[in-house]
Amino acid sequence: MQLIIGTKAWSTWSLRPWLVLKRTGAPFEEMLIALRWDGASEAISTVSPSRKVPVLRDGAAVIWDSLAISEYLAEKFPQAGLWPADSHARAVARSVTAEMHSGFSALRNACPMDLALRTSLSPDEATTADISRIVQMWKACRQDFGASGPWLFGDWSIADAFYAPMATRFRSYGIDLARFGDDGSAAAYLQTLLSDPDLLAWERDALADQSEWSKSDT
């Protein structure tokens, strides 16, 4: 399998299926296409029908879109337990994953992922509503489904991959979840996301990549 991804410091959509693929334990190759330069769209169009990354190639199959790739991997590797086993938990996990995939546009626009960034943001009304919704969602999932472990649904699931980039945004923009209705459980889950060894490995690559770029700038 080959996963085609964008610049690791910025590409939230690439990070999600990369985390899912790591959890399968299957070997895969990465192909990285740099984003945010004049030729990026052209370069991506040679490998992606949607002109977007990520793309997964598996034999003759070409799958684009982070959620479609994640679902493909869940079907291909049933033993990896990428969705919760319980049907109620699985339906809620799919709901929160879909909510991330199609929502939170105010928060995404106000706080683009940048793994090297540390700043402080005063969120506007729409961004505040998005952050509050995520806090309320994380608290509810942890309370209702989280008994078996530290992840959103206890054991790790695709839902955790979809919220990992959000954890890095909260850290980058200095968002204190207690100011958005957290009782401590969302903050604890945030730390679980940020200390995931797979996320840490992605971050190391991202920061090494950026320092190579800055060396070649000088």
Ligand X SMILES: N[C@@H](CCC(=O)N[C@@H](CS)C(=O)NCC(=O)O)C(=O)O
Tokens of 10: 């910025």
Residue 13 found at the interface with ligand X (CB under 6 A):
yes
- Nearest distance, CB of residue 217 and ligand X, angstroms: 20
3 state DSSP class of 50:
coil
Tokens of 53: 């990354």
Cα separation values, 99 from 68, 90, 94, 180, Å: 14, 14, 8, 19
- Nearest distance, CB of residue 14 and ligand X, angstroms: 6
- Nearest distance, CB of residue 38 and ligand X, angstroms: 10
- Nearest distance, CB of residue 102 and ligand X, angstroms: 8
- Nearest distance, CB of residue 150 and ligand X, angstroms: 26
- Nearest distance, CB of residue 34 and ligand X, angstroms: 10
For residues 88 and 114, give the distance between their C-alpha atoms in angstroms, rounded to a whole number: 34
Look at residues 85, 83, 92, 88 and name the one whose alpha carbon lies nearest to residue 24.
83
> 2 - beta bridge partners?
29, 57
Nearer to ligand X, 6 or 146 (CB): 6
Which residues from 183-212 bind ligand X, rule CB under 6 A?
none
Interface mask toward ligand X for 22-41; x: CB under 6 A:
-------------x----xx
Q: Is the dihedral of CA 198, 99, 138, 81 positive or negative?
A: negative
Q: Which of 21, 54, 93, 157 binds ligand X (CB under 6 A)?
A: 54
Residue 6 found at the interface with ligand X (CB under 6 A):
yes
For the chain, how big is the Rg over CA atoms in Å? 17
For residues 110 and 105, give the distance between their C-alpha atoms in angstroms, rounded to a whole number: 8
3 neighbors 17 (Cβ within 8 angstroms):
yes
Nearer to ligand X, 40 or 187 (CB): 40
Nearer to ligand X, 51 or 171 (CB): 51
Which residues from 56-75 bind ligand X, rule CB under 6 A?
65-67
Contacts with ligand X, residue ranges (CB under 6 A)? 6, 11-14, 35, 40-41, 44, 52-54, 65-67
